[in-house]
């Protein structure tokens, strides 16, 4: 096709410039087929490359999909493996754990560390402003608290139908993660369930004790309100299969009604003072017993009680048995006394267990006994010696004894010797007491009186102590 022919077909072409592309008919059909095959091969190559790239992309996505199932579980967590919404493995430990990603599966992590929950308002007056940080004691001491409003103020009714107040602190953990995920799986719902369970348990536990017992007991003592409420709350949580384990439930600031706080405080103060005095008296009794008999004091008290019981019953044989045992203990000998009456137990005392005032008194008695015996034996020996001398030469013995008597008499402080010249027939003496001798005599007499008074005072003090010790031992 020529340019002239084109101009004839379309006259407007004559006004245009030279064509940039010239179309012509192929003279060879085989050349057109070759061109088509080349285009097809190019398209197939492009499709093949695109398919390969898409395949690798799909493989990469599958790998990423599978690897996304690996998750790290910390020491304070436990994991639960799910597959199509069903739990397949529960309580998986720390480390890397695998689960098929959604929608096939899922790895749920549950925090198992201890957590705390405060319950301050349920059983406490509704306070506002600065009063919220004050205890019942502070409210009662400062005054100005309004009357109770049952619709706002919280309280607890005890077994004796009294009102009381208390705050509570709960320490808990998610002990069974699969149960927690199945039935709770929500932080707000968890707190609500624990709060309601504890409040219900506290009401039940409070209904079993009086207000006096409530104020006396400590929060950690066995059988206390806190321990009972903890048990009841745990039973409620177990019935729900919540997977929550209460580690500790503590009662904080238990108190009577605000208007009666001072009266209860006075009673508690009196009881505390009575307990302190009783403890002090018991300590004094133990100290006195140890001072009197040492480690054998309790055994001696028990033997004395049994001896008195035998005396009341008129049992002579038992009296002799217990009296011999008491004497053996006092002498430091080992003692083993079998039960005589029903309900009694064996009394075993080791050797040398007795000490203290008892041993001192026994030692003084032994010393006095030996001294009296030795003095008597010395007097007997001296008398027998003088008797032999008297039989052999009576005059010499009498003269010597008289001389010894005169010498002893003249050596006394109250005797003064005077020498008279020979030939004195008449002697007049104007006698008066020597002031120095009178003072010395007065000092000796006062010292003797003081010693006697001290001895009597010791006896009067020791006798009531021994009587009190026996009574406290009973």
Side-by-side strand order, sheet with 105-111: 86-92, 77-83, 105-111
CATH 3.40.50.300 for domain 115-270, yes or no, is: no
List, for residues 78-87, the tens digit of each pLDDT value.
667 777 666 6
Average pLDDT, the chain: 79
Contact criterion met (CB below 8 Å) for 113 and 167? no
The rounded distance, in Å, linking the Cα atoms of 177 and 15 is: 88
At 337-372, the pLDDT tens digits run 888 888 888 888 888 888 888 888 888 888 999 999
- Token pair, residue 282, equals 């018991």
346 and 338 in contact (C-beta within 8 Å)?
A: yes
Instruction: Tell me the Ramachandran region of residue 233: left when phi exceeds 0, alpha when psi lies from -120 to 50, beta otherwise.
Output: alpha
The answer to whether 355 and 295 have CB atoms below 8 angstroms apart is: yes
**What's the confidence (pLDDT) of residue 437?**
75
Encode pLDDT of 282-340 as tens digits: 898 888 888 888 888 888 888 888 889 889 988 888 888 888 888 888 888 888 888 88
Amino acid 237: pLDDT:
92
More confident residue, 366 or 217: 366
pLDDT computed for residue 5 by the predictor: 45
Cα gap 312→319, rounded to integer Å: 10
**In the prediction, which pLDDT does 118 show?**
92
Cα separation, 231 vs 198, in Å, equals: 10
| Residue 288 contacts residue 471 (beta carbons within 8 Å) | no
Q: Do residues 299 and 330 make contact, with C-beta atoms less than 8 angstroms apart?
A: no
How does 414-452 read in b/e, with b if 16+ C-beta sit within 10 Å? eeeeeeeeeeeeeeeeeeeeeeeeeeeeeeeeeeeeeee
* pTM, rounded to two decimals: 0.49
Report how far residue 235's alpha carbon sits from residue 200's, in angstroms, rounded to the nearest whole number.
11
Find the range with the poorest average confidence among 157-161, 319-323, 338-342, 417-421: 417-421
Question: What letters, b where the CB count within 10 A reaches 16 and e where it falls short, cover 168-189?
Answer: bbbebebbbbbbbbeebeeeee
In degrees, rounded to 5, the angle at the alpha carbon of residue 303 between the alpha carbons of residues 299 and 306 is: 140
Q: Which tokens hold the place of 198?
A: 């504890």
Indicate the domain borders of the chain.
39-65, 70-109, 115-270
Q: Which of 471, 469, 459 is nearest to 294 (CA)?
A: 469
Nearest in space to 293 (alpha carbons), one of 347, 320, 332:
332
């Amino acid at each position: 096709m020529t340019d002239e022919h084109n101009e004839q077909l379309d006259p407007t072409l004559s006004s245009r410039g030279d064509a940039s592309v010239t179309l012509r008919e192929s003279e060879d059909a085989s050349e057109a087929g070759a061109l088509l095959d080349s285009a097809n091969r190019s398209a197939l190559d492009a499709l093949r490359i695109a398919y390969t790239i898409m395949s690798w992309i799909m493989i990469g996505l599958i790998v990423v999909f599978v690897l996304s199932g690996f998750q790290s579980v910390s020491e304070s967590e436990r994991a639960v493996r799910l597959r199509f919404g069903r739990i397949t493995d529960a309580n998986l430990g720390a480390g890397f754990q695998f689960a098929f990603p959604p929608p096939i599966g899922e790895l749920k992590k549950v925090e198992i560390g201890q957590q705390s929950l405060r319950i301050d308002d349920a059983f406490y007056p509704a306070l506002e402003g600065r009063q919220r940080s004050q205890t019942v004691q502070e409210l009662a001491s400062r005054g100005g608290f309004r009357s109770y409003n049952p619709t706002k103020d919280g309280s607890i009714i005890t077994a004796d139908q009294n009102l009381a107040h208390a705050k509570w602190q709960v320490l808990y953990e998610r002990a069974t993660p699969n149960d927690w995920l199945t039935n709770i799986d929500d932080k707000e719902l968890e707190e609500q369930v624990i709060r309601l369970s504890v409040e219900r348990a506290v009401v039940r536990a409070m209904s079993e004790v009086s207000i006096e017992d409530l104020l006396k007991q400590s929060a950690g003592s066995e059988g206390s309100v806190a321990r009972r409420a903890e048990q009841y709350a745990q039973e409620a949580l177990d019935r729900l299969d919540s997977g929550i384990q209460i580690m500790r439930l503590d009662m904080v600031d238990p108190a009577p009604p605000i208007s009666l706080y001072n009266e209860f405080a006075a009673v508690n103060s009196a009881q505390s003072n009575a307990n302190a005095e009783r403890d002090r008296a018991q300590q004094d009794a133990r100290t006195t017993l140890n001072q009197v008999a040492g480690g054998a004091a309790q055994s001696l008290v028990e033997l004395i009680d049994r001896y008195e019981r035998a005396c009341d019953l008129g049992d002579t044989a038992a009296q002799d048995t217990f009296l011999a045992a008491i004497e053996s203990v006092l002498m430091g000998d080992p003692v083993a006394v079998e039960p005589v009456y029903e309900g009694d137990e064996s009394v075993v005392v080791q050797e040398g267990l007795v000490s203290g005032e008892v041993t001192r008194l026994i030692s003084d008695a032994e010393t006095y006994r030996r001294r009296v015996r030795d003095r008597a034996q010395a007097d007997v020996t001296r008398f027998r010696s003088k008797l032999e001398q008297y039989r052999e030469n009576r005059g010499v013995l009498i003269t010597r004894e008289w001389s010894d008597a005169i010498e002893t008499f003249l050596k006394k402080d109250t005797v003064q010797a005077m020498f008279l010249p020979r030939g004195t027939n008449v002697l007049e003496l104007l006698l008066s007491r020597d002031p120095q001798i009178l003072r010395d005599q007065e000092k000796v007499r006062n010292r003797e009186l003081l010693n006697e008074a001290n001895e009597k005072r010791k006896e009067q003090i020791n006798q009531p102590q021994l009587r009190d010790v026996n009574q406290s031992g009973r």
